[in-house]
Amino acid sequence: MIINNALKTIFVCVFALFLVSCSAPNVEHYSKTTPNFDFKTFFSGKLKAYGIVQDFKGELTRKLVVDMNATWEGNQGVIEEDFVYDDGETQKRIWKITLNDDNTLTGTAADVLGVAQGKSDGSVFHWNYNVELPYDGSTLEVNFDDWMYLVTQSRLINRTSIVKFGVEVGEVTLVIEKI
């Protein structure tokens, strides 16, 4: 009986630690970081991104380059992204962005299911959205958990966890630069 209770207690503690280790900070955690991330200022004009895609084991599966062009009318923006992968595949995504006064943002694109929701604070921007990705002759619905970290006023690092059924199945890392 004592051994069973001890095992239960150990299991509960390990499970609680697991849950805590899996939770990400919220964007407000970065409120005092600099430089300040102003989404509209950074994503204006021409940008270029260089990146990699890794599978769930951390193995490199693809490399990519993205040419971007962002334009604004007030707080309504359009970001055109042209992806070129190392295997020759190309892809285009056109974001329609709305900035709100409280540093939140919403976005839509043809392959985004529903509306992307995001927020910036300090030098960090975080948003989350579901995407239909081309996969093995079909499409696969996955969640993108996107974190952008402004390093300088002209360069940021973007880390995206690709999640399916609550499990990370891949990761995209990009360096995005204003040109």
> For 77-108, how does the pLDDT look when each residue is reduced to its tens digit (9 = 90+)?
999 999 999 999 999 999 999 999 888 999 99
pLDDT classification of 135: cutoffs 50, 70, 90: confident
pLDDT classification of 23: cutoffs 50, 70, 90: low
Query: Mean of the pLDDT values across residues 151-175?
Result: 97
pTM for the model: 0.84
**How far is 82 from 52, CA to CA, in rounded Å?**
15
* Distance between first and last Cα of the chain: 67
Q: Are 52 and 64 in contact (CB under 8 A)?
A: yes
Is residue 2 within a helix (H) or strand (E), and if so which, with residue range?
Answer: helix 2-22
Contacts of 153 (CB under 8 A, 6+ apart): 35, 41, 42, 178
Low-confidence winner among 11-25, 45-59, 78-92 (lowest mean pLDDT) = 11-25
Q: Are 143 and 132 in contact (CB under 8 A)?
A: no
Query: Mean of the pLDDT values across residues 62-75?
Result: 98
Q: Is the dihedral of CA 150, 151, 154, 155 positive or negative?
A: negative
**How far is 68 from 80, CA to CA, in rounded Å?**
5
